[in-house]
């Protein structure tokens, strides 16, 4: 991850090729010819469509769901955050309000209402995207899209022409041999968002973002939660020290972990699910009984039904669409963005790619700095990171220095009663340039934005340290960590 890797200016098109030349047609008057057809209306696809329309192109977006927004808005990011927020409120009312002198008797869970609220949040968001399509005169082609030839997309039996086709079909839950999903007893994230009662015991297969977030929801609501992870740590890919502390915090909350373990079979019955769990390195198996099993071992690119093999679009060894630095596939006029291509499977990464590609198609310079894409786990406390980890720096022989500051020493965190975790800043030993920031603590997902902006502009730890931060705020922990890089933190 050394250096600043960006999407370069597309050299193949004259600047402003589309500006002032396109008569955008109202979607109420159906046409079969477009400048851009985007397949998939998730964060990458719908944002790409909107930006292309803003730049004067005539745009259609293919979506087979009854609502826009893709996995993220319908069955992913948004509904999971709604349940996370509701479950946090429930747990605070039941277990934390008394510390603030607020006594609430007889707290009860109305899961049906909680689920209904989640649906209301989802509905508002997807309707918002539909409004944006109408505002920007984007045609919604309803149905599954198939690319039948370069420049041609078939939807619901009708063929449409496009100068540019963008594949933005996202990803789907990865399967596991021996574990058959029915979305009732053995669920993916989709089923875990729709449970009608709190399970007595939930086993989560996979210690990554999705499993830990949804496991947190049901633990707060009363479930016993056991996480089975093949590796020897949680949150693979994140800073190892931060992940280890994260494990301690979740254990204190009541999570149980079986690391270096694998699930080899799952037997369903009327009483629940019996899992066969073995050590990853081999050894004697054991059985674990659960009411509900959440399969969350990752996601894979979704390309089913697109007709890519027939038209010769190349995929990589993991089934992702192969692209160059301009998101172009090996077939002229066909592009891909988001989860369906290599890189982090994050909604905001897909959005940035969608904007960059739309601007490239208009002859502008698209920009995505892949070294400064933040990642967040929305448990409580949250865990967030941007840039490189210590393990990555060591692997490439980068000399660096570290600054850490605990939330225990932050006045606002104490006032909130949320003192678990720390901020860690990694900076170049010679130049002091910030190379990575890792935060475990309250509102880490919000705090990481400051670090991302600083890194985008090539800031040093000293730049952050000398920036005045409001008091008393959680952000002061970021400043103190920057001061600690030079060994001069003030409050520890």
Binding annotation for FAD: 81, 145, 169-171, 339, 345-348
Binding residues for NAD(+): 206-213, 229, 298
Tabulate helix, strand, coil % of the chain (nearest 5). Answer: 35, 25, 40
Instruction: Give 334's strand partners.
Output: 165
Query: 80, 73, 7, 6: which is closest to 41 by C-alpha?
Result: 73
Q: If you write DSSP's letter for every residue of 382-399 in order, what string do you get?
A: EEEEEE--HHHHHHTT--
Given 100, 201, 469, 471, which residue is catalytic? Answer: 471
CA atoms of 248 and 269, how far apart (whole Å)? 34
**Which residues are CB-contacts of 210 (< 8 A; sequence separation ≥ 6)?**
80, 189, 296
Residue 415, Cβ density class (10 Å: 0-12 exposed, 13-18 middle, ≥19 buried): exposed
Alpha helices per DSSP H over 293-402 = 308-311, 347-361, 390-395
**Residue 346: half-sphere exposure toward Cβ, Cα within 13 Å:** 15
**Which residues are CB-contacts of 480 (< 8 A; sequence separation ≥ 6)?**
405, 409, 410, 423, 489, 490, 491, 492
CA atoms of 485 and 289, how far apart (whole Å)? 47
- Cα distances (angstroms) measured from residue 302 to each of 295, 305, 315, 422: 18, 9, 11, 37
Paired tokens of 406: 């605990």
Length of the chain equals 492
Q: If you write DSSP's letter for every residue of 240-300 in order, what string do you get?
A: HHHHHHHHHHHHHHT-EEE-SEEEEEEEEETTEEEEEEEETT----EEEEESEEEE-S-EE
Paired tokens of 247: 């494990």
Residue 20, Cβ density class (10 Å: 0-12 exposed, 13-18 middle, ≥19 buried): exposed
User: Treating both helix axes as pointing N-terminal to C-terminal, what angle do 111-135 and 43-54 enclose, rounded to 10 degrees?
Assistant: 30
Residue 488, classed as helix, strand or coil, is coil
User: Is position 469 annotated as part of the catalytic site?
Assistant: no
Catalytic residues: 471
């Amino acid at each position: 991850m050394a250096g600043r890797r960006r999407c370069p200016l597309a050299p193949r098109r004259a600047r402003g090729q589309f500006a002032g030349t396109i008569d955008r047609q109202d979607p109420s008057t159906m046409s079969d010819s477009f400048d851009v057809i985007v397949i998939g209306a998730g964060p990458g696809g719908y944002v790409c469509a909107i930006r292309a329309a803003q730049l004067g192109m005539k745009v259609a977006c293919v979506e087979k769901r009854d609502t826009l927004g893709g996995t993220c808005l319908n069955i992913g990011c948004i509904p999971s955050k709604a349940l996370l927020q509701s479950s946090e409120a429930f747990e605070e009312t039941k277990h934390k309000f008394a510390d603030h002198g607020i006594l609430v008797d007889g707290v009860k869970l109305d899961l049906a209402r909680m689920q209904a609220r989640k649906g209301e949040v989802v509905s508002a968001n997807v309707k918002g995207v539909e409004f944006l399509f109408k505002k920007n005169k984007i045609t919604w082609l309803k149905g599954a899209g198939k690319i039948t030839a370069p420049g041609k997309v078939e939807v619901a039996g009708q063929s449409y022409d496009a100068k540019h086709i963008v594949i933005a079909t996202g990803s789907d839950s990865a399967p596991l041999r021996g574990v058959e999903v029915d979305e009732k007893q053995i669920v993916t994230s989709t089923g875990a968002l729709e449970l009608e009662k709190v399970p007595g015991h939930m086993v989560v297969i996979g210690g990554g973002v999705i499993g830990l977030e949804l496991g947190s929801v049901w633990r707060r609501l009363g479930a016993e939660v056991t996480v089975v992870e093949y590796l020897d740590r949680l949150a693979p890919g994140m800073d190892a020290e931060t992940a280890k502390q994260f494990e301690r915090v979740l254990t204190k909350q009541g999570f149980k972990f079986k690391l270096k373990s694998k699930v080899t079979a799952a037997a369903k019955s009327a009483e629940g699910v019996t899992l066969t769990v073995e050590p990853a390195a081999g050894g004697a198996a054991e059985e674990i009984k659960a009411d509900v099993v959440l399969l969350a071992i990752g996601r894979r690119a979704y390309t089913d039904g697109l007709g890519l093999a027939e038209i010769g679009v190349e995929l990589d060894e993991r089934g992702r669409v192969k692209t160059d630095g301009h998101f172009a596939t090996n077939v002229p006029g066909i592009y891909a963005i988001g989860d369906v291509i290599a890189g982090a499977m994050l909604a905001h990464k897909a959005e940035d790619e969608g904007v960059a590609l739309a601007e490239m198609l208009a002859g502008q310079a698209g920009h995505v700095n892949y070294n400064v894409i933040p990642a967040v786990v929305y448990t409580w406390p949250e865990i967030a990171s941007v840039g490189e980890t210590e393990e990555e720096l060591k692997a490439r022989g980068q000399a660096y220095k570290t600054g850490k500051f605990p939330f225990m020493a932050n006045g606002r965190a104490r006032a909130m009663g949320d003192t678990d975790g720390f901020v860690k800043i990694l900076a170049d030993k010679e130049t002091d340039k910030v190379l990575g920031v890792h935060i475990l603590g309250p509102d880490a997902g919000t705090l990481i934005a400051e670090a991302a902006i600083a890194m985008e502009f090539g800031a040093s730890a000293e730049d952050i340290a000398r920036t005045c931060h409001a008091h008393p705020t959680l952000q002061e922990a970021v400043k103190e960590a920057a001061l600690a890089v030079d060994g001069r933190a003030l409050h520890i």
